[in-house]
């Protein structure tokens, strides 16, 4: 297997910061995404390489292993363990002398992990779980109000995913067995999807509750009346009591956001009234307000 330079794939320097790596990944992932390059095998290949590189370099521990062991970074722990055993046992496997005797890392792993003779004279293959993949899924808040299905392209494979209503921004879900291929007959790695949810609505979300404001004209605030307000999934009519003050909050039970993986359960919606003061009064309106103010002070 040829060595892959993940830094070169992401077009960043080996001293790049986490933020620089993330920025480079997002830029290239958008550029080579299969949805934007239909039937383009070269773009599909590049997209797969970009995701693979990001899997390694975006995680500090994996990046450290990669910087030290190159293509064999996934087996770093086994390497260190066997290296210690080799040092302790002296000549049991020969003196590698810090690999100054010649062989490269791949040769070492093949002899130490993949092809060491067993006591029965055969070859024993050590199993390793495949690499875990990470993906970021961008959704709008409206899209996660109801459970729906979405097809994702991960490393060239189309995955049909059911997205439950109520997922939160930054939430991570794990899909077993959709990572990289295992080694030596080992199991596949897993796929971890991080949700990035953008809000372009007039509602603020706090877990399962929603918050918004509604304009209230001065006359309805003073005299009371009925108004129609927006909820996340439609409109409702509310009765406003006389003398309602600016900033008054009302709670609409079960009109908030769906509770994750609890069918039929919702948070609450909180509405804050914002009283609108009339502008550009006519002379007659001014006279009436003056008259009213005199009545209130007598």
Asked whether residue 102 is domain-assigned, the answer is no
DSSP notation for 213-252: EEEEEHHHHHH-EEEEEEETTEEEEEEEPTTPPTT-EEEE
8 in the same domain as 26: yes
Residues 70 and 137 in one domain: no
CB 210 within 8 A of CB 270: yes
State the pLDDT at residue 97: 34
Q: Is 277 helix (H, G, I), strand (E, B) or coil?
A: coil
Instruction: Assess whether 227 and 181 both reside in one domain.
Output: no
34 is a domain residue: yes
Task: State the total domains in the chain.
Answer: 3
Residue 256 counted as domain residue: yes
Which stretch of 6-20, 33-47, 186-200, 232-246 has the lowest confidence by average pLDDT? 33-47
The residue ranking higher by pLDDT, 245 or 105, is 245
Q: Please name every residue paired with 183 in a beta bridge, in sequence order, or none if there are none.
A: 128
Residues 188 and 208 in one domain: no
75 pLDDT above the threshold of 70: no
Query: What CATH number is given to the structural domain containing 48?
Result: 1.10.287.110
31-45, 178-192, 240-254 — which one is most confidently predicted on average? 240-254
**Range(s) of the domain holding residue 137:** 133-198
Q: According to the model, what pLDDT value does residue 74 have?
A: 66
Model confidence pLDDT, tens digit, residues 145-198: 999 998 888 777 888 889 999 999 999 998 888 888 887 788 888 888 899 999
Whether the CB-CB separation of 216 and 276 falls below 8 Å is answered with yes
Q: Is residue 108 part of a domain?
A: no
Interatomic CA distance for residues 226 and 166, integer angstroms: 31
Which of the 8 DSSP states describes residue 180? P
pLDDT of residue 199: 94
- This prediction has a pTM of 0.57
> What pLDDT is recorded for position 167?
94
Residue 24 covered by a domain: yes
Would 247 be classed as within a structural domain? yes
Asked, for residue 28, whether it belongs to a domain, the answer is: yes
Q: Are 193 and 219 within one domain?
A: no
150: CATH: 2.60.260.20
């Amino acid at each position: 297997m040829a060595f892959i330079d993940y830094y070169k794939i992401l077009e960043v320097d080996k001293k790049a910061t986490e933020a620089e790596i993330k920025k480079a990944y997002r830029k290239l992932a958008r550029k080579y995404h299969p949805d934007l390059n239909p039937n383009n095998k070269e773009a599909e290949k590049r997209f797969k390489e970009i995701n693979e590189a990001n899997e390694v370099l975006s995680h500090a521990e994996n990046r450290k292993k990669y910087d030290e062991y190159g293509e064999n970074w996934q087996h770093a722990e086994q390497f260190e363990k066997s290296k210690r055993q080799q040092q302790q046992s002296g000549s049991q496997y020969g003196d590698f002398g810090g690999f100054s005797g010649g062989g490269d890392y791949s040769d070492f792993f093949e002899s130490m992990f993949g092809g060491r003779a067993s006591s029965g004279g055969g070859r024993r293959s050590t199993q390793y779980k495949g690499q875990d993949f990470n993906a970021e899924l961008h959704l709008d808040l409206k899209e996660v109000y109801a459970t729906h299905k979405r097809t994702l392209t991960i490393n060239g494979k189309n995955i049909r995913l059911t997205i439950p209503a109520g997922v939160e921004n930054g939430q991570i879900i794990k899909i077993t067995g959709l990572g990289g291929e295992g080694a030596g007959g080992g199991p596949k790695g897993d796929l971890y999807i991080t949700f990035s949810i953008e809000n372009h609505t007039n509602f603020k979300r706090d877990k399962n509750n929603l918050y918004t404001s509604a304009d209230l004209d001065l006359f309805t605030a003073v005299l009371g009346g009925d108004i129609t307000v927006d909820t996340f999934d439609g409109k409702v009519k509310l009765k406003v009591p006389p003398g309602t003050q600016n900033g008054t909050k009302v709670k609409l039970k079960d009109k908030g956001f769906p509770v994750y993986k609890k069918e039929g359960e919702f948070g609450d919606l909180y509405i804050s009234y914002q009283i609108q003061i009339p502008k550009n009064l006519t002379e007659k309106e001014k006279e009436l307000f003056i008259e009213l103010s005199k009545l209130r002070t007598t």
